[in-house]
Every structure is written in structure tokens, then in C-alpha cells.
Amino acid sequence: MNILKEAREAPRDIKLLWTSVFLRLFAYGLTNQVLTLFLHGIRMKEDRIGLFMSLTLIGDVLCSYVLTWYADAWGRRKVLIYGAIMMTMSGVVFAFNENFHILLFFAIFGVISPSSDEVGPFKSIEESMIAHLSPNHKRPEVYAMHALVGTMGSALGAITSGGFIDLLQYFGIAETNLQCYKYVFLLYAAFALVKVFIMIALSEKTELDGHFPEHLDEDTLGPAVANDELAPLMEEAHLHHPTPATAAGAEAANNATHGATDVADVTSEDSGLSVDPSTTSKRSALSPETIAILMKLLVIFMIDSFGAGFMTSGWVVFYYKKFFKISSFALGALFFTCQLVMASSTVVSSALARMFGPVRTTLLVQIPSGIFEILIPFCQHSLPLSIIMLNLHSSTTAMDVPPRQILLTNLITPKDLTRVMGIVNIGKTFARCVGPYFTGVLAKDGYLWFCFIISGSLVIVADLVLACSFLHVDAPILKQINSRAHT
């Protein structure tokens, strides 16, 4: 399989980034099983839990905005190391404190995920690193592996959490469920500490902000520059149909490409905190074309995330615990299975993206995913049927991750990619902030089940908007990602 071949041949930095996302999602999987139950255990009402989750996500938006916007200037590795250190601290604080405001502070700055999904600046920075380390024709497999190891980490974290709690109770190490949850947060801190050392091990190549991957040989780079094979679609459009504004930008880009001094300046700028203000100002400004595409992407991704926020995996844990009264290990096993199904589906998604294009692939998997989610609350009379619907939802919900990454990295120029990915992820998180609070209010009044319907419906709406906005780009993207697939 191509994905296994690319995994073996991937540069050391990409393998370290895969290890990083595995550990991070493993840690999120641990706490996802206990966060809602922990907050309920310290006598928070459902609406208060929803408020806590929403405020956590709002704070995460603000932190992520600053960190991702200036990551290239401050140093990507430094930002990732800071995030991993704060993850470690937050795990320790949650293990030894029950104060609402202190917990909220460290949930925001220490990156505690209200669900097993990504929060913080990590995702956008890591994906930008991978884009700069990988040529276009390898990205479907590289991003699929990135998604695969992440969902595998989340799956193993879920079942480890359930088994860990049962072992603590079996050996009498913890007498109450609340004590067990606190031990889980200590385990979270331990994995975050390992992540710190992985971030330190990343090389200088991850700091580069060039148009072409560092691991390509000189013979490949020459023709690529001449033929513009690796340029994003938007950049190709500028070269073939320049407007007065984009012509100036193209000339500047050409000068930068052929000027060794300019490249050295960029490298120096990205690898440290000392930055020339005028240069930073130029680099911080997004082009009008990028902004136009970004606005469309934000609408789509924010509608999707707004829906997802109504039923985060933390609330799904709470739903199954409340309605079906299943044990901690059974909960862990349930979410392990769901995440395992999700992980295996990401492998298929890269092949689908290469076959149908990123937009058609997203529609093919996400619309059924929304339908399966809507059907979950109609299965309250039968746990097996409910689990089947949940697993069908899980089997399709993550299959859009590689296609959407491919769409982003092929539409946006490399110089804007880190910031655009940061803005997109911040926008998604901001949209997701709203849902948890209203979920808490509905849960308090006995309507938690209705949130499945809201969530699934909004996912379908987002997919319809995606089709209207970007269906036409599938053909050129397919041509680009398949043009060098067999070389």
C-alpha cells in the first residue's frame, strides 16, 4: 500500500510529528473518558459543565490565535514545546485541585480537551510543517498516516483510561470514582512530558517556510521550479491569469525564489525570536486571494464545528453513562472500538481522495455520517442498536480529515499556509464553543438526546455549502496530486 511505503520513507521530522500527534491524542483520549464525569463528581451541574467546556474552548481560541499567527516568527518548535509543558502542568493541577476558576485557567492555557478532538495550536503548526516537508503527490498518504496515528492514539487512550480506572479500584489504590479520575489526569501529565522531549528533538528543517520540501533532491527541485508542479492551485492561477495586484506578488515571489539571500533571511527569521518588524508586517499580511478563499472555508468549517460542538465525545460519554449505566471499562472499550473504526477509515479516505478528489470524498462520507448521528437517539431502547449507529457514525466522521487537509494545502500558498491553517482551526474551535453550553442546558432539562439531531443536521448543511463553493476544484487538484504519484 502507498500509505505504508510513505510511512517507511518519510523523513525523521515527519515521523517525530506522527509520534507527537499519537501521544497527544492518546492523552486526550484518556481525559475524554473522565472530564465530564470528573466535573460532575466535584458537584458541577450539567449547565455549569457546559459553561466550563464553552469557556475552555473560547480561551483556547484566543491562545491559539496568538501562537499560530506568530509561530513562524517565534519558532514553531518553541511554540510546540511551550504547549507540551503547559499540558504537563494542567494534568498535575487537575489531579490536585477542584476550584472552578483554577481548573478553567489551566484547561485553557494547559490545553485540556473538552473532547478527544484537537485543541490548542498543535494541529495547525504540525500540519503546516508536514506540508513544507512533503511534496504534493505524497500528501494524501502522509496526511492519512497523520490522521491514522492520531485516531489510534485516541482509541488506545480511551480503553487505557477505562482499564486503568478498573485496576485502581480492583487493587484498592483509589476508593472513589473521583480519585480514579484524578489519577487519570496524572497519567495525562506523564504522556505530555514525553511529548516535550519529542518537540525538542525536531530539527531546524521544521522551521523553514519555503515552497518546496527539504527532502527533495536537486534534480527534482529544478524541474519543479521551472514547471511550477508543486505550486498550490491558487498560485498557479496567479501565474497564468495575473491581475495587477497578483502580478506584483508573483514578481516578488519569483525574486524570492531565485534570491539566495532572501531565502537565508526567511530561514533566520523563522528560527528565532528576533525578527525585523517591517519584515514581520509583510509576512503577516494575507493576500486578497488567500482571504477570499479563507472566508469560504471558514463558513464551511465553522458550520461543521458548530454542529460538532453540540455533541462532543465528552458529552457522548456522559450520555451512555447516564442512559445505559455502563461501567468505566465498558465505556473505554466502546470508544476504543469507535476510534479504531475511525482510524481504519482514514486509510481508505486517502485512496478515495486520490480517486474522486477532496470535495467529492468529503460529501461521500460526511452526509452518511450526519444521518447516522441523527439516528442514535432513536435507539435508546436498545444498547446494541445504539452502538451500531455510533460505530457507523465513527466509521465515516473522520474520513474527511485527509481530503480537507489536501484541499487546504493545495489551495493556499506556502507562505500563508501556517496562518491560514491557524485561522481555520481557531474558527472551528470558536464555532464549537457555542454548542457545549446549550448542550449542558438541554441535558439539565432531560433533552441531551436532541443534541445528536442538531449536530448531525448541521454537518449535512456544511457539506452542502462545501459542494456549492468548491466542487469545481476537484479536477485540477486530482491532476496535481496524481501527476507525480508514480515517479
The pLDDT tens digits of the residues spanning 11-23 come to 899 999 999 999 9
Distance CA 163, CA 168 (A): 9
Res. 356: pLDDT tops 60: yes
Query: What is the band of 115 on the pLDDT scale with cuts at 50, 70, 90?
Result: low
Query: What is the band of 61 on the pLDDT scale with cuts at 50, 70, 90?
Result: confident
Res. 235: pLDDT tops 80: no
Res. 209: pLDDT tops 60: no
Do residues 444 and 45 make contact, with C-beta atoms less than 8 angstroms apart? yes
Distance CA 231, CA 224 (A): 9
**Angle value at C-alpha 468, between 466 and 471, nearest 5 degrees:** 75
Q: Is the pTM of this model over 0.85?
A: no
- From residue 217, give the alpha-carbon distance in Å to each of 169, 222, 224, 468: 56, 9, 11, 39
Residue 447 has a CB neighbour count (10 Å cut-off) of 12
23-27, 157-161, 182-186, 337-341, range with greatest mean pLDDT: 182-186
pLDDT at 255: 41
Query: What is the band of 102 on the pLDDT scale with cuts at 50, 70, 90?
Result: very high
Count of helix runs (H) and strand runs (E) in the chain? 24, 0
Q: Which CATH number fits domain 2-202+287-482: 1.10.260.40, 1.10.443.10, 1.20.1250.20, 3.40.50.620?
A: 1.20.1250.20
**Angle value at C-alpha 365, between 361 and 370, nearest 5 degrees:** 140
Which residue in the block uniquely carries the three cell numbers 511505503? Answer: 5
Query: What is the band of 319 on the pLDDT scale with cuts at 50, 70, 90?
Result: very high
- Lowest-pLDDT choice from 102-111, 221-230, 269-278, 414-423: 221-230
Where do the H-state alpha helices sit in 202-259? 218-227, 233-240, 244-258
pLDDT at 119: 67
Residue type, 182: K
Residue type, 346: T
Distance CA 115, CA 100 (A): 18
- Lowest-pLDDT choice from 93-97, 235-239, 435-439, 481-485: 235-239
